[in-house]
Amino acid sequence: MTPILYQSSFRYLKRHPWQFGLAVIGVALGVTIVLSIDLTNASAQRSMELAVQSVSGRSTHQIISNREYLSEKTYRNLKQKLGFRKAAPVLEGYVVLPEKPDQVFQLLGIDPFAEAPFRPYLQDLGGGNNGNLTTFLTEPNTVVLSYELAEQLGIQVGDFFEVEIGGLPQKLRLVAFLKIEDNFSRQALSKLLIVDISTAQELLQLKGYLSRIDLILVGDDQENNKQIEKLNEVLPIDARVESSQTRLESADKMTRAFHLNLSALSMLSLIVGMFLIYNTMTFSVVQRYSLLGQLRAVGVTRGEIFCIILLEAIVVGIVGTSLGLIGGSQLANLLVIYVTQTINDLYYVLSVRELQWSNLSLLKGIGLGMGATLIAVLPPAKEASNIPPRIVLNRSSREESFRRTLRWSIYAGLGLCFSGVCLLWLPSRDLILSYTGLFSLIVGLAFLTPHITNLAMKLIRPIMSKLFGVLGSMATRGVQAELSRTSIAIAALMVAISAAIGLGIMVGSFRHTVFYWLEQQLWADIYVVPPGNSRHLDKVLLPDSIEILENAQGVDHLTRNRRIQVETTVGEIDLLTLDLPNEGYASYSFKEASTDPWKSFDAKQSVVISEPLSNRLNLSIGDRLNLPSPKGDKIFEINGVFYDYSSERGHAIIHRNHLEKFWEDPRVNSVALYLEDGWTPERFQNVFDRLELPQPMIIRSNVSLRKVSLEIFDRTFAITGVLQLLVTGVAFVGVLSSLMALQLERQRELGILRATGMTPGQIWRLVTSQCGLMGIVAGVLAIPVGIMMAMVLIFVINQRSFGWTFPTLLEPTVLLYNMLLAVFAALLAGFYPALKMSKVPPAVVLREE
């Protein structure tokens, strides 16, 4: 390509900065959203890995128990009978600091003499300014923290500070700092309190127990299997050896669907951005029909014309992607707050305060930004290079060519829709496949938009003529006449608004279902738990506390609740034990069940499971669930599958009698109080305040618990609202770009209308009417597409992601609001072009005549 062609392209971009800027914004916004989500997910993933590694260290395997804790005799047998050297006992728990009541910290009890091969950050403990290690080993309630955490708490070596463990206040003394050079590792350890294992047993009231035993096996797989066989010979029946990687994989599985759903939503913005790029580059071709025709006439080849358009797109892509990389890093700083809060609310304790930059994230952002730009520019570039000079010089050839492709766009649209339905219909749990099917449907429906727009204008024209006369008829004909650009803008806006409708219906339906489910589940009047805000805290009520509550004035009766985790051959299962009154059992709503799922629940080895667990393990009524216990494997028959929205992991429920019989675990995590007739939670609060309890407790009424649960729900979907707003913003820029291009191209036409007597006000109304019509068509089309998207999200994506189903709630206000939003966005985007065109003197635009 000759230098003069480069200069021609450069001058064009220089003379049309708005057009160039809008294309850049389209790319930049798409890359910003995709990169910010990817960075956020990567940072959360890396923090989770470091958090697991910080407590697992360099261990390759772990010995764990089928019950919650392992007897420390197992560790002694390991050392004495096998002489196993690379083994370290560990006891884990969770604590709350009064200075940070909204955060949860991890307590790690270790044996310093066995730690050298496992956790390298503990090798830096020493004396001098860093504290006295002897004090850590010999004095009770001594702790080691990261310098960062100590600074946040305002304490130095030798200072005491208060914590709450299992609801009981404790005083700890800081004796040393952890020395960590890596910033991200320092962040991962910023919520870790390290104590001697004997101190941990006292603080957690677990004398004689361990959470696990870390091992390092250094042989090949065959040698390691032989060592594991030897270990199994001395292990008790309720203990087993598993790979340390299993813990990381388990944590990763918990949040995989959450991260993938965010990534899919971010990709939607890139799809909308591609419409914008296509529209802008198409207009750049149309605007230079005469110039390109002259170039072809004087000998410029088709390949060179193609390269001109491609080069401009590459410039747009480079500038837009560069801005997107900057914007993505800034947006990620905001989104990481939402993501971290959601993971802490729903999954596990996580601290993410710094973004984890990775080459993969950058390459993904660059690849998607440049790839989307090049894909979107191929059709207009190919068209510019293929049309002969005599047709290029014809201004109407573009629309004629576009209309000839309408039939093929219908076939392509129907084909993509059919492919999408087939992919969604496949009996697979693969979320990527599900989202591929959903995106095929969306793009397929976008391909049908030009034909539907053309048909809609034909139907609307008589109404517009009757209401607004000639201007109304001209507005509909104008949308049809420029279908190559108006339909693309309508499609982009339709996709964005349909996404808003689909997400709105899904979130609204889910929220309504959760609210109704909470009303059913929270049957008791008062719920009492030890302090702590994490679902993963090992919060245990003391027997004396339970007795005082049971005999308190106003209490009719109480029920005890206990949740444990059981490792099975099909993975970890949360096991909930209940001893509910009859009205409590009635609060469960079953998806499928035997005649009476609660019959002989206390005597017979029966179990009911939640819908998510049923879907995750492919279990149904009549199947048998094998639950390992300290007294061997116990077989429970599944009597029912109930609806539950507390966790996508799901859980199983057995009677408390079975827990005490097979697991020998009489402990209680929480109690539910049923008050006597005439008593209210407010009245009981006065009684509770006067009780002399041996431990701090928190009481909540069923009303306050519902409120807190819905607040967590709203926080979970807050990030969805942010992304939804950004996607709509991309569509708005697309409509603005299309209307700017459309009005600039119609300068001559509008100039003739002005010269023949049309007033500036009439020009303004004509352009505004066209914008309003585009918004109406986009809004009306978005309603069925949004409802379809909601159905896919509810009955396919949600079920495959989280295992639960819920009924669809169609709220007319959601549909009406988003339709009006489409019209408003179109009118707002058309305001400036309409104002500009109404003020241009006819002589300026008719000079070439």
Annotate 70-123 with DSSP letters as a single string.
Answer: EETHHHHHHHHHS---SEEEEEEEEEEETTEEEEEEEEEEE-GGG-TTT-GGGT
Report if residue 417 sits inside a domain.
no
Contact present, 676 and 646 (Cβ < 8 Å) = no
pLDDT category of residue 536 using cuts at 50, 70 and 90: very low
Neighbouring residues of 574: CB distance < 8 A, sequence distance ≥ 6: 563, 564, 565, 647, 649, 650, 651, 652
pLDDT at residue 327 greater than cutoff 70: yes
The average pLDDT across 149-157 equals 85
Please give the mean pLDDT across all residues of the chain. 80
**Per-residue buried b or exposed e for 309-346, using 16+ beta carbons within 10 Å of the residue's own CB:** bbbbbebbbbbbbbbbbebbbebbeebbebbbbbbbeb
Model pLDDT for residues 342-376, shown as the tens digit of each residue: 766 666 566 555 666 777 778 888 887 888 788 87
Do 580 and 687 share a domain, yes or no? yes
Contact present, 25 and 277 (Cβ < 8 Å) = no
Do 552 and 654 share a domain, yes or no? yes
Q: Which pTM does this prediction carry? A: 0.75
Do 834 and 792 share a domain, yes or no? yes
Contact present, 500 and 724 (Cβ < 8 Å) = yes
The pLDDT assigned to 344 comes to 66
The pLDDT assigned to 111 comes to 87
pLDDT at residue 743 greater than cutoff 50: yes
Report if residue 674 sits inside a domain.
yes
pLDDT at residue 846 greater than cutoff 70: no
The phi and psi torsions of 262 (rounded to 5 degrees) equal -65, -40
Among the residue ranges 327-331, 352-356, 558-562, 670-674, the one predicted with the least confidence is: 352-356
516-523: Cβ within 8 A, 24+ apart: 517/589, 517/643, 517/644, 517/645, 518/705, 518/706, 518/709, 518/710, 519/706, 520/587, 520/588, 520/589, 521/587, 521/588, 522/702, 522/705, 522/706, 523/583, 523/584, 523/586, 523/587, 523/672, 523/702
Do 630 and 774 share a domain, yes or no? no
Report if residue 432 sits inside a domain.
no
The average pLDDT across 317-331 equals 89
pLDDT category of residue 247 using cuts at 50, 70 and 90: low
Do 708 and 845 share a domain, yes or no? yes
794-800: Cβ within 8 A, 24+ apart: 794/505, 794/506, 794/509, 794/510, 796/424, 796/434, 796/437, 796/438, 797/261, 797/431, 797/434, 797/435, 797/438, 798/506, 798/510, 799/615, 800/257, 800/429, 800/430, 800/431, 800/434
Percent of the chain with pLDDT over 70: 81
Q: Which of 208, 243, 278 is the last residue of a domain?
A: 243
Report if residue 514 sits inside a domain.
yes
The pLDDT assigned to 777 comes to 93
Q: Which of 243, 270, 291 is the last residue of a domain?
A: 243
Strand partners, 173: 142, 160
Quick check: helix, strand or coil at residue 609?
strand
Do 631 and 729 share a domain, yes or no? no
The pLDDT assigned to 387 comes to 60
DSSP, res 535 = T
Among the residue ranges 61-65, 338-342, 786-790, the one predicted with the least confidence is: 338-342
The pLDDT assigned to 124 comes to 54
Neighbouring residues of 318: CB distance < 8 A, sequence distance ≥ 6: 370
pLDDT category of residue 540 using cuts at 50, 70 and 90: confident
Higher pLDDT, 88 or 540: 88
pLDDT category of residue 259 using cuts at 50, 70 and 90: low
The pLDDT assigned to 83 comes to 76
Do 504 and 565 share a domain, yes or no? no
Q: Which amino acid is at 486?
A: T
The average pLDDT across 27-33 equals 81
Do 272 and 342 share a domain, yes or no? yes
Among the residue ranges 287-301, 337-351, 438-452, the one predicted with the least confidence is: 337-351
pLDDT at residue 18 greater than cutoff 90: no
d(CA 504, CA 506): 5
The pLDDT assigned to 704 comes to 83
Do 160 and 288 share a domain, yes or no? no
d(CA 515, CA 124): 51
Report if residue 631 sits inside a domain.
yes
| Exposed/middle/buried for residue 256 (C-beta within 10 Å: 0-12, 13-18, 19+) | middle
Q: 392 is written with which tokens?
A: 């290029």
pLDDT at residue 751 greater than cutoff 80: no
Model pLDDT for residues 88-125, shown as the tens digit of each residue: 899 988 888 877 766 778 888 988 888 777 876 666 55
Q: 816 is written with which tokens?
A: 């009406």
User: Got the DSSP string for 682-733?
Assistant: HHHHHHHHH---SS--EEEEHHHHHHHHHHHHHHHTHHHHHHHHHHHHHHHH
pLDDT at residue 826 greater than cutoff 80: yes
The average pLDDT across 372-383 equals 80
Neighbouring residues of 784: CB distance < 8 A, sequence distance ≥ 6: none
How many Cα atoms are found within 13 Å in the side-chain-facing hemisphere of 743? Answer: 26
Report if residue 50 sits inside a domain.
yes
Report if residue 427 sits inside a domain.
no
Q: Is 704 left (phi over 0), alpha (psi -120 to 50) or beta?
A: alpha
pLDDT at residue 414 greater than cutoff 90: yes
The pLDDT assigned to 188 comes to 63
pLDDT category of residue 792 using cuts at 50, 70 and 90: very high
How many separate domains does the chain show? 4
Contact present, 594 and 606 (Cβ < 8 Å) = no
The pLDDT assigned to 782 comes to 93
The pLDDT assigned to 653 comes to 93
d(CA 451, CA 448): 6
Q: State which residues form the domain around 738.
A: 449-523+702-849
Report if residue 711 sits inside a domain.
yes
Among the residue ranges 50-64, 329-343, 528-542, 627-641, the one predicted with the least confidence is: 528-542
Other Cβ atoms closer than 10 A to 670: 18
Do 637 and 688 share a domain, yes or no? yes
Q: Which of 212, 243, 274 is the last residue of a domain?
A: 243
d(CA 228, CA 224): 6
Q: What is the 3-state secondary structure (H, E, C) of 266-332?
A: HHHHHHHHHHHHHHHHHHHHHHCHHHHHHHHHCCCCHHHHHHHHHHHHHHHHHHHHHHHHHHHHHHH
Do 579 and 514 share a domain, yes or no? no
Do 559 and 647 share a domain, yes or no? yes
The pLDDT assigned to 334 comes to 79
Q: 37 is written with which tokens?
A: 């989500």
Model pLDDT for residues 514-533, shown as the tens digit of each residue: 888 888 888 788 999 876 54
Neighbouring residues of 11: CB distance < 8 A, sequence distance ≥ 6: none
DSSP, res 556 = E
pLDDT at residue 148 greater than cutoff 60: yes
pLDDT at residue 534 greater than cutoff 60: no
pLDDT at residue 791 greater than cutoff 90: yes
d(CA 430, CA 267): 17
Could you give the C-alpha distances from 729 to 26, 334, 406, 724, in angstroms and in order? 10, 17, 28, 9
